[in-house]
Amino acid sequence: MSHPPIKKSLLLSLSKREYHYAQDLPSKPDPSIGKVLVTGASGYIGGRLIPELLSRGYRVRIMVRGETPAYRELWPSVEVVSADALNVFDLRKALDGIDTAYYLIHSLLLGKREFEAADIQAAINFREAAEEKGVRRIIYLGGLGDTSKKLSSHLRNRMRVAEELRQGSVPVTILRAAIIIGSGSASYEIIKYVVKRLPLVPVPKWALNRCQPIAVRDVVKYLVGVLETPQTAGRSFDIGGADVLSYEDMLRTLAEVLHRKRFFIRTPISHIGFYSYNASFLTPIPAAITNSLMEGIKNEVICQDDSIKDYLPFEPLNYREALIGALTREEQDNVRTSWFSAYPPAHELSIKLHELDPGPQYTAHYSILSRKESWRLFTSVCKIGGKEGWFTHNWMWWLRGWMDRALLGVGTSRGRRSQSTLKPSDVIDFWRIEELKQDMRLLLRAEMKLPGKAWLEFNIKPEDGGNRLSIIAYYFTESLFGRIYWYIFLPFHHFIFSDLIKQIEKRS
């Protein structure tokens, strides 16, 4: 099959490590725009939008719930405000002195039962606080769908959020997008894992429904473009890529791009719950997300109008180009944000080790004295997890990951954002980095399902002219089952960590 040539602008940007999506936008940076607030800054879209705004000279404040030094390291010129949209006082602080606010808040990870109410309340609070603080504009990225049809609860929720935001006096620009394709996007990851892992791909009848996927770079371009186009204030626009495709077409195109021979088989089973549960096993995406996203497949999600082109007349990428962009960024180990960038739903998980009071009841310490320099040892520590695995007894880590998946946890399959670099808050399989002190300490917080809280510390301290490399497991529990769990796993810890520490030293 012949395809139109890939756009030059895409090829050019893929050849650079540092690049900006909005470089070729028809709109121009507007210095009269005051401070811009980006909510959902820890999320997939927020993390991609911020560098674009900064590169165009805007003053940016970001709103996050879990503040970590990582944000200042990533974007030194941004102002960071810690706020929860469910707390009106927090919101007033976040919106004080703001000209335009991006609303990118979404609580999908809370699961189907809880996210709807939380998202609506957050939108109501935001609208009221924005009015009170005299915000000039709100820009919201929501979901695409035909409101005259029965929509999935996820799409209905995205529409309701738009309606709530619009009820106030602050003009809201609404951008409605279907599936977003880009490295690290949840929908793209589901499609990719299905194609990579299944030689026989089932095609239920809803896989013939049509959708208009859009590349993440085009979403970010529209988000920046509407900010710079005042005529778009108070209006709603559908944004989509160049193709309208069925879900089957999307899977077939990816198989073709990946050069994988796949057989597509029509199946009479069409229960979405069945497929979404299986997708959560097959892919790294937790069931809370696969359920909500796949429920939306029942609806055709196609742009109803293209009036956005009157204001921002650029040619969006087609689906194939969006895939090539995503796959190339993965190959280059240059994925900026991922669906798992957002914090886990149970925010209590983000209690820091040093904040635990009383401290962890259980610790297990393993160490080795090495003659090697601290930077060598630390570089070796920082390679753990993801594609490299855990250096030794990988099958045990893998088994623990599968136990977690069976309990609908995150498992190990999230891997790492990048195999070569780590920053605070990054994910390493079922861990998240709580602290990273170059050549000294890497502290990981467990995000797998556990009857308690757990941390794993890698520590390097000078000793006797060499360096002592330690691994310390910390555990805190309040339940009897939690205590039993610790003692069941203790012998395995001994086995795994004693060998892991030797491997780290050997590979450094």
Ligand X SMILES: NC(=O)c1ccc[n+]([C@@H]2O[C@H](COP(=O)([O-])OP(=O)(O)OC[C@H]3O[C@@H](n4cnc5c(N)ncnc54)[C@H](OP(=O)(O)O)[C@@H]3O)[C@@H](O)[C@H]2O)c1
CB of 374 to ligand X, least distance (A): 32
Closest to ligand X by CB, 87 or 419: 87
Query: Could you give the residue ranges of the DSSP H alpha helices within 56-198?
Result: 69-74, 88-95, 112-132, 153-166, 186-197
- In sequence order, which residues have a C-beta less than 8 Å from that of residue 425 and are 6 or more positions away? 42, 66, 68, 70, 341, 432, 433
Does the protein bind ligand X through residue 158 (CB under 6 A)?
A: yes
- The distance of closest approach from Cβ of residue 347 to ligand X in the complex, given in angstroms and rounded to an integer, is 7
Our finding on whether 104 is near ligand X (CB under 6 A) is yes
Q: Which is nearer to ligand X, 186 or 469 (CB)?
A: 186
303 touching ligand X, by CB under 6 A:
no
Does position 185 bind ligand X by CB under 6 A?
yes
Q: Which residues between 27 and 86 bind ligand X (CB under 6 A)?
A: 39-40, 42-46, 64-66, 84-86
* Structural contact between residues 390 and 458, judged by C-beta atoms closer than 8 angstroms: no
Work out whether 471 is an interface residue with ligand X (CB under 6 A). Answer: no
- Any contact of residue 151 with ligand X (CB under 6 A)? no
Query: In angstroms, what is the minimal distance from the CB of 206 to ligand X?
Result: 18
Q: Closest approach of Cβ 30 to ligand X, in Å? A: 23
Q: How far is the CB of 499 from ligand X (least distance, A)?
A: 35
Closer residue to ligand X, CB minimum distance, 343 or 476: 343
Output 158 or 453, the one with its CB closest to ligand X: 158
Among 27, 68, 100, 107, binds ligand X (CB under 6 A): 107
Q: Which residues contact 201 (CB under 8 A, 6 or more apart)?
A: 194, 195, 251, 255, 262, 263, 264, 265
Tokens 């709109």 -> residue = 27
Which of 10/159 has CB closer to ligand X?
159
SS3 track for 245-313: EEHHHHHHHHHHHCCCCCEEEECCCCCHHHHHHHHHHHCCCCHHHHHHHHHHHHCCECCCCCCHHHHCC
Alpha-carbon distance of 290 to 413, in angstroms, equals 14
CB of 187 to ligand X, least distance (A): 5
Query: Residue 145 interacts with ligand X (CB under 6 A)?
Result: no
For ligand X, the closer CB: 124 or 440: 124
Inter-residue contact 143 to 155 (CB < 8 Å): yes
Q: How far apart are the first and last CA of the chain?
A: 48
**Using rule CB under 6 A, residue 291 touches ligand X:** no
Per-residue tokens: 162: 């738009």
- Asked whether position 108 contacts ligand X by CB under 6 A, the answer is yes
Closer residue to ligand X (CB): 242 or 471: 242
Q: Taking the complex as a whole, how short is the minimal distance between the CB of residue 460 and ligand X, in angstroms?
A: 30
Residue in 143, 204, 286, 386 binding ligand X, rule: CB under 6 A: 143
CA distances from 154 to 33, 49, 193, 304, 507 (A): 33, 23, 22, 19, 47
Q: Does 141 bind ligand X (CB under 6 A)?
A: yes
Which of 104-112, 242-250, 255-263, 366-374 is the region at the interface with ligand X (rule: CB under 6 A)? 104-112
Taking the least distance from each CB to ligand X, the nearer of 213 and 452 is: 213
User: 311-341 burial, b for 16+ CB within 10 Å, e for fewer?
Assistant: bbeeebbbbbbbbbbbbbbeeeebbbbbbbb
For ligand X, the closer CB: 118 or 440: 118
- Residue 308's CB is within 10 A of a number of other CB atoms, namely 24
Query: In the window 359-418, what residues touch ligand X (CB under 6 A)?
Result: none
Q: 75 or 475, CB closer to ligand X?
A: 75
Binding-site member from 14, 60, 98, 177 for ligand X (CB under 6 A): 177
Residues 13, 68, 187, 299: which binds ligand X (CB under 6 A)?
A: 187
Residue from 20, 56, 61, 106 binding ligand X (CB under 6 A) = 106
CB of 194 to ligand X, least distance (A): 16
Q: Are 212 and 180 in contact (CB under 8 A)?
A: no
212 scored as a contact of ligand X (CB under 6 A):
no
CB of 284 to ligand X, least distance (A): 14
Give the count of residues interacting with ligand X (CB under 6 A).
Answer: 31
Distance CA 302, CA 321 (A): 19
> Which residues ranging from 331 to 370 are in contact with ligand X (CB under 6 A)?
339, 342-343
Strand 172-177 to strand 180-181: parallel, antiparallel, or no bridges (unpaired)? Answer: unpaired
* 462: helix, strand or coil: strand
Contacts 24+ apart (CB under 8 A), 356-363: 356/453, 356/476, 359/476, 360/453, 360/455, 360/474, 360/475, 360/476, 361/475, 361/476, 361/477, 362/473, 362/474, 362/475, 362/476, 362/477, 362/486, 363/472, 363/473, 363/474, 363/475
Q: Which residue has the tokens 């990988």?
A: 394
Give the CB-nearest residue to ligand X: 43
Instruction: Give the whole-angstrom CA distance, residue 276 versus residue 262.
Output: 20
- Judged by beta carbon, residue 44 or residue 275, the one nearer ligand X is 44
Nearer residue to ligand X within complex by CB, 53 or 108: 108
- Closest approach of ligand X to the CB of residue 299, in Å: 13
CA distances from 135 to 95, 236, 274 (A): 7, 18, 45
> Which residues bind to ligand X, rule: CB under 6 A?
39-40, 42-46, 64-66, 84-86, 104-108, 122, 141-143, 158, 177, 180, 185-187, 339, 342-343
